[in-house]
Amino acid sequence: MRVITGLARGKRLKTLEGDDVRPTTDRVKEAVFSMIQFQTEGRRFLDLFAGSGQMGIEALSRGAAESVFVDSNYKSIEIIKKNLNFTGLIKNAKVLQINSLDFLRQNNGKFDIAFLDPPYNTGILQKVLPDVANHMQISGIILCETSRNDNLPLEINEFMLDREYHYGKIKIVTYCHRSFLDNE
């Protein structure tokens, strides 16, 4: 697992070991950042269910103004901090050990990009999506990584399902605000 491009290009990141860990593959990460390549610089990025923090780190490496890393697992938080220190990107990062729903209910800020990669097929994604949508800028994009057979809603508050991409057993779904889809 490595940073693909930008300030920390080529740096290898650490991840937790074990069967419960499922880092986003480099192929999927490249695809996600191709989708948002012109929307990352200077923006505020939320890495919810951050794991190793690789998605938020990639965003920072590509010029995001800030990445907020949220994970409830203490070991994940430690790995994220190590990866941020190793890449030299910690000054624009906020790392929080908290349950995703608790974070969303306490947070007052808005995000430009949110990446959600919770454990697959648990219903957690469907549960947090409305709260995530409430914390997005109107021009923002929500990206969800899930299993190919997981059903996601067509709309969440004012955000509508825009696109769906398949990479083997993995599905990436994007949501955009209704006003941006009406203009296409």
Tracing tokens 């057979």 back to the chain, one arrives at 149
> Which residue ranges make up each domain of the chain?
26-182
Percentages helix, strand, coil for the chain, rounded to the nearest 5?
30, 30, 40
Domain spanning 26-182: CATH superfamily: Vaccinia Virus protein VP39 (3.40.50.150)
Query: Alpha helix (H) ranges present in 107-184?
Result: 124-134, 178-182
- On whether the pTM is more than 0.75, the answer is yes
* Angstrom distance (rounded) from CA 134 to CA 68: 16
> Tens-digit pLDDT profile for the chain (184 aa)?
888 888 898 899 998 875 556 677 778 888 899 889 888 999 999 999 999 999 999 999 999 999 999 999 999 999 999 999 999 999 999 999 999 999 999 998 999 999 999 988 889 999 999 999 999 999 999 999 999 999 999 999 999 999 999 999 999 999 999 987 765 4
